[in-house]
Structure 1
Amino acid sequence: MGGHPGMVLVDKPAGVTSHDVVARARRALGTRKIGHAGTLDPMATGLLVLGVESATRLLTYLVGLDKTYEATIRLGSATTTDDAEGETLDVASLDTIERVTDPDIAAGVAALTGAISQVPSSVSAIKVDGRRAYDLARKGEDVTLAARAVTVARFDLRAVRRAAGTIDLDVVIDCSSGTYIRALARDLGADLGVGGHLTALRRTRVGPFAVDDAVVPDAIAVEALADPAEVAATVLGRFEVSDDEARALWQGKRLTGAAPRLVGERQAAITTGGTLVGVVERRGDDIKSAMNLPAPAAAGGTG
């Protein structure tokens, strides 16, 4: 069954790793060549975008897309991992929690909305001196990660649920790639003086792709693969090329004087027959390939 390039949207269940989903896709599709555009923690659910065969080359253009998450933040305690899987570090007193008002929460959320500076969680997958931060943290080593600029375009409070010793917040967040929702939970709790961590996380959108269009891991099959040309056109826009132009691009040549036809810095070069040639970019007045998919056997070039 190998040999079908494409993209597949998968709704990852809780309790399995992103790697588990990739392994299941490899078995279902009969190929080793599968990658994903951004991992999800085991506790998290929701959208994973997988690239299959030559379409893995498109993943680099998907990892930087904005994302939407639905999450539950628990105020009242902090944990070692900033989520429910870690050990509890600090627990706020009942009095302290009861003094946190809805306007306090709204102000804390507002302070974490927009362009912010964020220190990633110590159990993130960021590499420190070539080693994953979470590996160092689990060995008890102190991990200090540099703050990074991220953008939280939307941080909506959907519900505030109060119980003895806790306040649970259901939120929806639109954010730039590289934003850690666990770190938002940690920082909101710290700002309010009661501690905070994440108890639920679901990714509902990656760029233009929605979890509503995803399949469960057991339903991964060739029939679930999206055409790489359609995916690339959705993300990058369509740059239509003739068969002769496609052949030239596959041969590594430039399209002389074609730059005025390009919208933006780069687009997906697609033949009139609907075959994805690759991703093209501007070079002065010319167009050149930033990335090509393999040419169909027939032509060194046409679809």
Structure 2
Amino acid sequence: MSRSSRQSRDRELPEGAPGTEASGLVLVDKPAGWTSHDVVGKVRRLAGTRKVGHAGTLDPMATGLLVVGFNKATRLLTAITGTDKTYLATIRLGVSTVTDDAEGDVLQTRLANAVTPERVDAAVADLTGDLQQVPSAVSAIKVDGQRAYHRVRAGEDVRLDARPVTVRRFEVTGYRRAEDGTTVDLDVEVDCTSGTYIRALARDLGEALETGGHLTALRRTAVGPFSVADAVTLEDLAVRFTSTELSVAAAGLFPVRRLTGEEASELSFGRRIEVTGTEGMVAAQAPDGTVVALICDQERQGRPEVLSAKPEIVFAPATAPAAASTQDGGRT
């Protein structure tokens, strides 16, 4: 890239754009009508880097929290994807659609005049807890190497296997019956594990009540420890690029272990260090506060009686240990 091209690009970037140097997370309040890939493309342009990804797809119809990582922080996204989610949704009883949401063609209509709040509460209770959920056929799940939604749109009858999910909370916060009694709209709030389809919950609730059902609105309000209350709109991001630095984000997601200079160097080369004594992933923090790696206690191969902390994801480049190890608490 020529100097003039770089200068032109830099003038187009918002205040705080990281370029290819810094790494972190951006909490985006996704607008309706945008795909998650659209948001990633926008963040790439605003951040000034190609290395951008997200931690869990939102359908175009949905709004709310999309956690986006850039540069080295993209390595955090897999861990974030597996965290619990919280959603606000509206379910319409009395109408079933191909996609289990408002964007699909209507499959069937059935009167919802026999639905009562008591019946709804009982059905919701049955859909709370550990479930075997059949995902919506129009989904991004791959079937023999091809996305399920591509197969459905090609006219195939796609049947997906049930998957274990946990719905920790399924609460009805609003109940509205149409004047003619044909439909009932329910406002709900759902806390669930990763991989739970809220569209499928709407479908299954409708089937349990013998009315059919589909999703008419969906907003994600939380992903793990991250809240939509802290998210920014794409319009605001275009004015000032607001992000959470990688080390701060990792420390908010996992327990932290402070390292000596020697330990930080060992991890930067992908070598094991002494056990953390903590179950699950731990953010390994160098003496200067930067997160070097995510580590996890594991058995050594061939020596199951010996545990050590293995680097699962390494962020820092390989470095030699600091010479003045006594200043950073290094072992002597």
Structure 2 length normalisation: TM-score?
A: 0.86
How far apart in 2 are the matches of 1:12 and 1:173? Answer: 19
Per the alignment, in what secondary structure is the counterpart of residue 71 of structure 1?
strand
1:136 and 2:143 correspond: no
How far apart in 1 are the matches of 2:294 and 2:264? Answer: 11
Q: Note if contact 2:286-2:292 (Cα within 8 Å) is conserved in structure 1.
A: yes
Q: How does 1:90-169 map to 2 (within 5 A)?
A: 90-93=108-111, 97-163=112-178, 164=180, 165-169=182-186
Q: Note if contact 1:250-1:301 (Cα within 8 Å) is conserved in structure 2.
A: no
| Residue type at the aligned position of 2:133 | Q
| Residue type at the aligned position of 2:70 | V
Query: Shift of the alpha carbon at 1:225?
Result: 1.6
Q: Which position in structure 1 is the counterpart of 2:310?
A: 288
Q: Note if contact 2:47-2:241 (Cα within 8 Å) is conserved in structure 1.
A: no
| Residue type at the aligned position of 1:71 | A
Per the alignment, in what secondary structure is the counterpart of residue 220 of structure 1?
helix
Q: Which position in structure 2 is the counterpart of 1:8?
A: 26
Q: How does 1:50-61 map to 2 (within 5 A)?
A: 50-61=68-79
How far apart in 2 are the matches of 1:300 and 1:7? Answer: 28
Per the alignment, in what secondary structure is the counterpart of residue 69 of structure 1?
strand
Query: Shift of the alpha carbon at 1:253?
Result: 2.1
Deviations 1:187-226 (A, max 9, x none): 0001111110000000000000000001111233674121
In structure 2, the CA distance between the partners of 1:204 and 1:301, relative to structure 1 (3 Å rule), is farther
Q: Which position in structure 2 is the counterpart of 1:254?
A: 272
How far apart in 1 are the matches of 2:104 and 2:224? Answer: 30
| Residue type at the aligned position of 1:209 | F
How far apart in 2 are the matches of 1:300 and 1:37? Answer: 33
| Residue type at the aligned position of 2:177 | R
Query: Shift of the alpha carbon at 1:288?
Result: 2.0
Q: How does 1:178-257 map to 2 (within 5 A)?
A: 178-220=195-237, 223-255=241-273
Deviations 1:131-158 (A, max 9, x none): 0001111111110100011000000000
Number of equivalenced pairs: 295
How far apart in 2 are the matches of 1:300 and 1:192? Answer: 65
How far apart in 2 are the matches of 1:231 and 1:300? Answer: 25
Query: Shift of the alpha carbon at 1:232?
Result: 1.2
1:89 and 2:107 correspond: yes
Per the alignment, in what secondary structure is the counterpart of residue 159 of structure 2?
coil
Structure 2 gap ranges (5+): 1-18, 299-305, 323-327
How far apart in 2 are the matches of 1:73 and 1:146? Answer: 23
Query: Shift of the alpha carbon at 1:272?
Result: 2.6
How far apart in 2 are the matches of 1:252 and 1:168? Answer: 54
Query: Shift of the alpha carbon at 1:50?
Result: 0.7
How far apart in 1 are the matches of 2:310 and 2:114? Answer: 61
Per the alignment, in what secondary structure is the counterpart of residue 62 of structure 1?
helix
Which sits farther off after the overlay, 129-138 or 211-220?
211-220
Which sits farther off after the overlay, 48-57 or 287-296?
287-296
How far apart in 1 are the matches of 2:131 and 2:157? Answer: 24
Query: Shift of the alpha carbon at 1:44?
Result: 0.1
Q: Note if contact 2:264-2:286 (Cα within 8 Å) is conserved in structure 1.
A: yes
Deviations 1:250-277 (A, max 9, x none): 122221xx21x33213201011321010
| Residue type at the aligned position of 2:30 | K
| Residue type at the aligned position of 2:260 | S
How far apart in 1 are the matches of 2:183 and 2:109? Answer: 10
How far apart in 1 are the matches of 2:222 and 2:200? Answer: 19
RMSD: 1.6
Query: Shift of the alpha carbon at 1:98?
Result: 1.3
Equivalent of residue 276 in structure 1, options 288, 291, 311:
291
How far apart in 2 are the matches of 1:48 and 1:105? Answer: 30
In structure 2, the CA distance between the partners of 1:106 and 1:28, relative to structure 1 (3 Å rule), is same
Q: Which position in structure 2 is the counterpart of 1:63?
A: 81
Q: Which has the larger radius of gyration?
A: 2
How far apart in 2 are the matches of 1:263 and 1:60? Answer: 20
